[in-house]
Chains A and B, each alone.
Chain A
Amino acid sequence: MALLRAAVLGRARLRGGGIPWSVLRNYSSASAKEKARRNAVCERTELLEVLKARGKQLQGSNIPEVTVDKVELPPLGNVTYQDPLRKATAPGPAEERPAPGGRGESPARPRSWAEKLKKEMHMQQLKVEQMSIAAAQLALEEQTKAKPKSKAKANAKAKNSLKIPKAKAAAAWSQSHAGSCSVHAHGKPRVAAVKEGVKAQRPQRVLEDKESSQHKILQQTVQSNLECLLFLQQPEEAERFLLLYHSSPKKRGLLNVDAYNIVMRSWARKGCLQRVNWLLSLLESVGLRPSLDSYAALLECLGRNQSPASAIQRCVQQLKNDGFHVDELFQKCLFEEDEKEKVLRAIRVVQPKYQLPPPPRPQICKSSLLRDFYSRETTVSYPKLDFSLRELQERFQQQLQMELDNTVTVESVEATKPLTPQAIKARKLLATLRSQWRDSILQALQKSKHNMSKLKTRSRYNTLYPYLCLLPDEEYVDIMLQILNTVSPQGESLAVLARELSSKVYNRYITQRKLRSRQLEKVQEVYEGYIHLLAKDGRPDGYLPREYWEKLVAEAGFGPSLSLKDCSWPYVLLMRLGMHMLELLVQAVKVPRNILNPRLEPRLIPVLYHIYSFRSSWQVGLIKPHPVFSQIVSDAAETLLTFNSSSIPMLCPPVPWTSPHFGAFVLNDTRLMRFVDGAFQHQLLLEQCPPVNLHPVLDALNQLGNCAWKINQPVLDIIISIFNDKGNEKLDIPPPVSEAPRPPAAPGNSSTWSKSQKHELLQCKKKAAEMHSLRMDALYKLSIANYVRDKVFWFPHNMDFRGRTYPCPPYFNHLGNDVTRAILLFAEGRPLGPKGLDWLKIHLINLTGLKKKNALQERLEYANEIMEEILDSADHPLTGRKWWMNTDEPWQALACCMEIAKASRSPDPAAYVSHFPVHQDGSCNGLQHYAALGRDLIGAISVNLMPCSVPQDVYSAVAQQVEEFRKKDAAQGVRIAQVLQGFISRKVVKQTVMTVVYGVTRYGGRLQMEKRLKEIDEFPEEYLWEASHYLVKQVFNGIKEMFSATRDIQNWLTESAKLIAQSGRTVEWVTPLGLPIVQPYYRSRSTVLNCSMQHLSVKHASSSQKPDTVKQKNAFPPNFIHSLDSTHMMLTALHCLRQGLTFVSVHDCYWTHALTVDIMNEVCRQQFVALHSEKILQDLSEFMLEKYCSPGREMRAPWQKKLMEQLSSVPKTGEFNLNKVMDSTYFFS
């Protein structure tokens, strides 16, 4: 990063002083050489000027200061033109001194200050010496960047950087210098090491920028390999593998302390003290310092061997000498199996009375927004679930069993159809084939493993081998057969299949590890206690789920050992493993060619084949099943579906999130934050963040996950009946593929067809493929719903990097479409209360989309008017007048009709117990946040922040505006404007307006428009492109006209992000709830994996690369707004929890019982006002100023000034009175 900044700096400086570029270019002739020469001259004069200025400054001041002169910045590797001056001074970059570069080259410079510079540099080094090598290097880097004015500051900085977990940042850093540092272990030589480091740092930095992502991947690969061997209990193998790297000076750089620790642990587990000691000496011989984990391994081994006290005493002494404390062992180390007991035994040999350290006191979040929420003075009881302890215990066991089985086989909803004889025959055939395939895959797997194991003896080592030993062979075969069943007839991309295969292996491995390390036992024990908090007959009260879980963990003395050591596999490795399995699958699975057509000669042909699909210059590898196989599968019409256990909703309340590593499912590995493969910066950020800052977010996720659900059975039955009939596209029930349009039968060979015939056939195929995927998606959802139809279930939640929350099970959840939402009910019932029935009716009208512009009272009256239709729909959904079918959300409307019918017919509607969720939607929530941020009066009115008698509709307003533009254009004879007459409606513009705040581009907007216009049957097709193009332009103009403050804020955010990204850093911020956010957009780089079937290009972006400026810039406004809306949602969730409400959300749509809608609305508005009463933009500005241009930093460069100006000029706000929101009925409605 420093490098990039230097590069930018260099350019900016060039442009800033002397002759401006443009002038130069005008004067210069065509000769490029001459131009370069002139530039050099220009730069040299500029450089001399800077040096002179610096000299003067130094003469005037006595304060020793870190000198970061421009001259000594690292070689500008990426600057396109070479600086002749620098070239001359630094012939060999390795020799370059940290002191000024241009020594002897510029005679103008006074000698004395050169000396002074050198001295300062030396002082700097002395300061740094007090710290460890790794930290010192980091600190130095920090200081060269930051230029602190005083010593105190320098130290503070260094300390800050020390906090970064060694394993990740510092270790990686020091590794790259292992070559130069290796001689110096600890003690005195460290001074030298630092000097070395300083020297080595600069030439290497260029290199490192290029290689460090590669380096990190390799490092991760080595570690996960060692972890595997540890898991396999093969210490000899692990040691051999370690030595493979250790003995080569080049590869040694990939080993860090953790790598050695893993091997030590595997020996310690066997009690081989000698090997552990030897490894310790090995570790020190390469200049690495033993970490806490190293001592833990040693002590474990000593404890296991019941070694004499003297040895243990020595070890403990050494540990203390290295600045650790015995207590830390139990506070920080993640013990597995019986490691902890052994360590404790060892400690108690020398300190017989040693007691485990008390658990740290629980900290309380201090966020001003949540002061009441967390305050201890008023303990309130949080709602309990309607289950007894025993029931919850049973459910937990069920869930555990399901997760232990890894997969769940579910009867599909198509199972009710009668079987044809053809299907029976095909099923039989498939069964025999499968058992043959099972054998042949097993054989192929064993053969390949055998070949690999032979390789091991030679110098070439196959890194995949241990990964193929983690599970019993049969499990690998199971996984491969499972994949075989899911390949669609249209084929699947190679990379996707490979990824799926390996992640299945990984998940099973994690499960095994959790079992082996006794982590599961501990979780089970804590969970048993935990359900006391939730069960209706449980005693404890006044705790949040997370607090109670933490309390139980502390009481049981488990410390941090509930979470596993980080053992994720690098993406590249996952791909390799997957590719290997895929190759086996393609090779091993064969079918007789004549199986369906006995006339052909019998011969085995592969079931899967590999083929390329060409997309312009791109070629993508596909795996396709042979038509024969697809035919058998479709004939068999199998009705069993196999899912990963993590795809099914949980059958017991989820494990509460207590840290970024722990929560959600019992066994399945779940991340707190979703992110793309290879983006580890989020994880890093979460780890660095003080745990207490995450509490609000964790608590909100736990609250959402603790909502119990059940199935609306009557609605589900109706949906399934239509699904199994012929589907219904209008009602969003995808028809089966058999309903797909058939191409007209053409005579003869396909090669003789005309172009149009081919085209038609292609269209039919495309349609069939689309229908297949839609059908499968619906089949999965409905089948899972059907599977849990009699159960109560839970959706554990996690979030994306902006804090937006999502249920973890992917197919069936409340975020789904109208169909899935309609079959979900709260498991908990609440009486409707006095206003509940009215709310149900209003909710129904909302779902129809009919009375959007009318007041709530009018909607209610309308509902009462059409009561007859509602009751008819409820009673005869498929045979009656079918009023419900013509609404916006027909299935939810139908469900609501049924609920209203039941409630209104009950003797006392107010006492009727309803499970029905009532929704309240934010009206264009993104714009609401913008309008509130900018206190924009006009904007606030149009998105209902102001109390109004009728709801304002921003979409209609924009549509009106666009229509006006159109009329004007049409009058002026613009053809397309005339064509569009009568087609501009709210519906056409809605999606684009909605997404404009989230940064939709013209391109995306046009596609949206095109889709909307296509839905209008009367619209002439030939004008689609032109019309959509025109419309999107007008919509953008319309919004510009209506929301001025929004635009200012958006521009400010965009511009800030652009400057930050241009300075080589990624945009980071912290939400008002304390969640740290970083935008993970980097310029990606691709690595080519040579697999035997195909070379695979794997893209990966990592934090060591430069940020992608365009993405950073374009995505910042929407991401920022999303982080705000997620904050608002979480605040509402937490405060609703305190009021005892059931609450879930679909981003900006909040659900609760009809009884509690009013309370929820009030909380929602309160929290919106509270959130925006914080100085959000000012806080953001301050945070960024602190982060990107802290006062100690060099401020001379124009771009830095520009950034600082930009960040400090927060857009002005309007005069909207935020408190008005409290009375606005239609804010969320």
Chain B
Amino acid sequence: RFIACPHLARTVQRCLQDGASPGPQPVLLECAPGPGILTRTLLNAGVRVVALESNSAFLPNLQSLENSLDGQLKVIYGDFFRLDPLVTGTVKPPALCSDKLFETMGVAAVPWRADVPVKIFGFLPQKKERNMLWRLLFALYECSSIYRYGRVELNIFMSEKEYKVLTAKPGEAKAYQALTVLWQVGCEIQLLHMEPWSSFVTNLKNGGLAIPKSMWLPNDHLCLVRLTPQQNLFTGSLEPTNSATFIFMVKQCLAKPKSKIADRLNSWSLDNGGKLLSELEIPKNAATRNLYPEDYRRLFEALQNSSMFTETWFHDEVLGSIRNIN
């Protein structure tokens, strides 16, 4: 999916530069620029761009553009959404490793609390939107892959329905999911722009727009969403090493959103959940989908501090589940 209209390209460019602090701008990694319309717009606006293109058909054009400029553009062959593949063995292009990518880009890792080292722009592939959101989430919580280099800022176009899920409020049936809680805890989510599906061009053979189906949520637009990792994500007792437990806990809780949080805790025999909940001022009869993302974080930290997870079977399950999702 590409941006074909120069007008839209300008809008996106403005959105991307929006809210930037004065001073030197971080480099922008554009994923799958395709014909390069946005690329040119960005270059014209003086942005340093790294273009990551996986379709070799577009490469020559981009490379000639690269050669015509004085280092403002760098073109790399690769697919952002096949970064750090899980299979063992040699990595075959266009799949690539994040450390290679960042080395080529010339970006070094910065501490978590530092400013954004890299901005990334791209479209979530529609067919595996969900999958990608989960993978990015795991990378974020584990500080692995791109997040090893600091709080990388994602500016991505995603379907409206996924945006609705990410920004759902507690209690919203269907929309409020484990993904919601985890993204909201992990990132600041900012809607930059909404654009109808028809404004984009795809390179699919049938020329269709490939709009994912949606039954419950509105899905008329593509949303440009900025996901900036929270600076204070790892300030409490949540750490990259134990974050898998947190993810697992949230997933288990929201697998059945109407159940009561107290029942869930009890069924895992995580000690008397009632007492813990009242300490956190969470009503005892609250359904899991009524808890705020922040509540989950507090709940987890309280459990972690009471070192209950280690006493039980819980961490075994976490280990078991990592492989399945990741």
Partners in one complex: yes
Q: How far is the CB of B305 from chain A (nearest CB, A)?
A: 13
B14 located at the interface, meaning its Cβ lies under 8 Å from any Cβ of chain A in the complex: no
Interface pair A609/B324, CB less than 8 Å apart: no
The residue of chain A having its C-beta at the shortest distance from the C-beta of B310 within the complex is: A749
Measured between beta carbons, the chain A residues less than 8 angstroms from B310 are 749-751
Q: Please tell me which one of the listed residues B241, B272, B324 contacts residue A752 in the complex, with CB atoms under 8 A apart.
A: B241
Q: How far is the CB of A618 from chain B (nearest CB, A)?
A: 10
Interface pair B315/A606, CB less than 8 Å apart: no
How many positions in chain B have a CB within 8 Å of any CB in the partner chain?
A: 31
Q: Is the interface of B mostly helix, strand, loop or mixed?
A: helix
Measured between beta carbons, the chain B residues less than 8 angstroms from A603 are 272
B319 located at the interface, meaning its Cβ lies under 8 Å from any Cβ of chain A in the complex: yes
Segment at the A interface, from B110-118, B149-157, B249-257: B249-257
Q: How far is the CB of A722 from chain B (nearest CB, A)?
A: 32
The residue of chain A having its C-beta at the shortest distance from the C-beta of B322 within the complex is: A758
* Interface-central residue, A609, A614, A617, A1022, by most chain B CB under 10 Å: A614
Q: How far is the CB of B271 from chain A (nearest CB, A)?
A: 8
Measured between beta carbons, the chain B residues less than 8 angstroms from A605 are 269
How many positions in chain A have a CB within 8 Å of any CB in the partner chain?
A: 31
Q: Known: A762-B323, A1022-B89. Is A751-B317 also a contact (CB below 8 A)? A: no
Interface pair B269/A612, CB less than 8 Å apart: no
In the docked arrangement, what's the CA distance between A753 and B313, Å? 17
Q: How far is the CB of A31 from chain B (nearest CB, A)?
A: 13
* Interface-central residue, B239, B245, B251, B324, by most chain A CB under 10 Å: B324
Measured between beta carbons, the chain B residues less than 8 angstroms from A614 are 251, 321, 324-325
A321 located at the interface, meaning its Cβ lies under 8 Å from any Cβ of chain B in the complex: no
Q: Please tell me which one of the listed residues A593, A750, A761 contacts residue B269 in the complex, with CB atoms under 8 A apart.
A: A593
In the docked arrangement, what's the CA distance between A758 and B268, Å? 22
Interface pair B320/A612, CB less than 8 Å apart: no
B90 located at the interface, meaning its Cβ lies under 8 Å from any Cβ of chain A in the complex: yes
Interface pair A610/B251, CB less than 8 Å apart: no
User: CB-CB contacts of B234-278 with A at 8 A, as 1s and 0s?
Assistant: 000001011001000001100110000000000111001000000
Interface pair B241/A753, CB less than 8 Å apart: yes
Interface pair B319/A758, CB less than 8 Å apart: yes
Interface pair A612/B252, CB less than 8 Å apart: yes
User: CB-CB contacts of A600-625 with B at 8 A, as 1s and 0s?
Assistant: 10010110011111111101000010
* Interface-central residue, B131, B239, B323, by most chain A CB under 10 Å: B323
Q: How far is the CB of A263 from chain B (nearest CB, A)?
A: 39
In the docked arrangement, what's the CA distance between A466 and B312, Å? 40
A713 located at the interface, meaning its Cβ lies under 8 Å from any Cβ of chain B in the complex: no
Measured between beta carbons, the chain A residues less than 8 angstroms from B131 are 616
* Interface-central residue, B267, B310, B323, by most chain A CB under 10 Å: B267
The residue of chain B having its C-beta at the shortest distance from the C-beta of A601 within the complex is: B271
In the docked arrangement, what's the CA distance between A662 and B299, Å? 60
Interface pair B255/A619, CB less than 8 Å apart: yes
B7 located at the interface, meaning its Cβ lies under 8 Å from any Cβ of chain A in the complex: no
In the docked arrangement, what's the CA distance between A1129 and B317, Å? 49
Interface pair B267/A606, CB less than 8 Å apart: yes
B130 located at the interface, meaning its Cβ lies under 8 Å from any Cβ of chain A in the complex: yes
The residue of chain B having its C-beta at the shortest distance from the C-beta of A586 within the complex is: B267
Measured between beta carbons, the chain B residues less than 8 angstroms from A751 are 239, 241-242, 245, 309-310, 315
Interface pair B323/A610, CB less than 8 Å apart: no
Interface pair A606/B269, CB less than 8 Å apart: yes
In the docked arrangement, what's the CA distance between A85 and B269, Å? 65
Q: How far is the CB of A363 from chain B (nearest CB, A)?
A: 58
Interface pair A762/B319, CB less than 8 Å apart: yes
Q: How far is the CB of A1022 from chain B (nearest CB, A)?
A: 5
The residue of chain B having its C-beta at the shortest distance from the C-beta of A763 within the complex is: B323
Q: Please tell me which one of the listed residues A626, A750, A1022, A1095 contacts residue B315 in the complex, with CB atoms under 8 A apart.
A: A750
Measured between beta carbons, the chain B residues less than 8 angstroms from A1022 are 89-90
User: CB-CB contacts of A57-98 with B at 8 A, as 1s and 0s?
Assistant: 000000000000000000000000000000000000000000
A765 located at the interface, meaning its Cβ lies under 8 Å from any Cβ of chain B in the complex: yes
A1094 located at the interface, meaning its Cβ lies under 8 Å from any Cβ of chain B in the complex: yes
Interface pair B321/A613, CB less than 8 Å apart: yes
Q: Known: A762-B323, A1022-B89. Is A610-B315 also a contact (CB below 8 A)? A: no
A627 located at the interface, meaning its Cβ lies under 8 Å from any Cβ of chain B in the complex: yes
8 Å CB interface, B275-316 against A:
309-313, 315-316
Q: How far is the CB of B303 from chain A (nearest CB, A)?
A: 12
Interface pair B252/A609, CB less than 8 Å apart: no
* Interface-central residue, A606, A609, A627, A1025, by most chain B CB under 10 Å: A609
Interface pair A626/B269, CB less than 8 Å apart: yes
In the docked arrangement, what's the CA distance between A1022 and B316, Å? 30
A residues apposed to B, CB below 8 Å: 593, 600, 603, 605-606, 609-617, 619, 624, 626-627, 749-753, 758, 761-762, 765, 1022, 1025, 1094-1095
B residues apposed to A, CB below 8 Å: 89-90, 130-131, 239, 241-242, 245, 251-252, 255-256, 267-269, 272, 309-313, 315-317, 319-325
**7 residue pairs A–B, Cβ–Cβ below 8 Å:** A609-B267, A610-B267, A615-B324, A616-B131, A616-B325, A624-B317, A626-B269
Q: Pick the 7 closest A-B CB pairs, nearest first.
A: A751-B242, A605-B269, A612-B255, A750-B315, A627-B313, A751-B241, A1022-B89
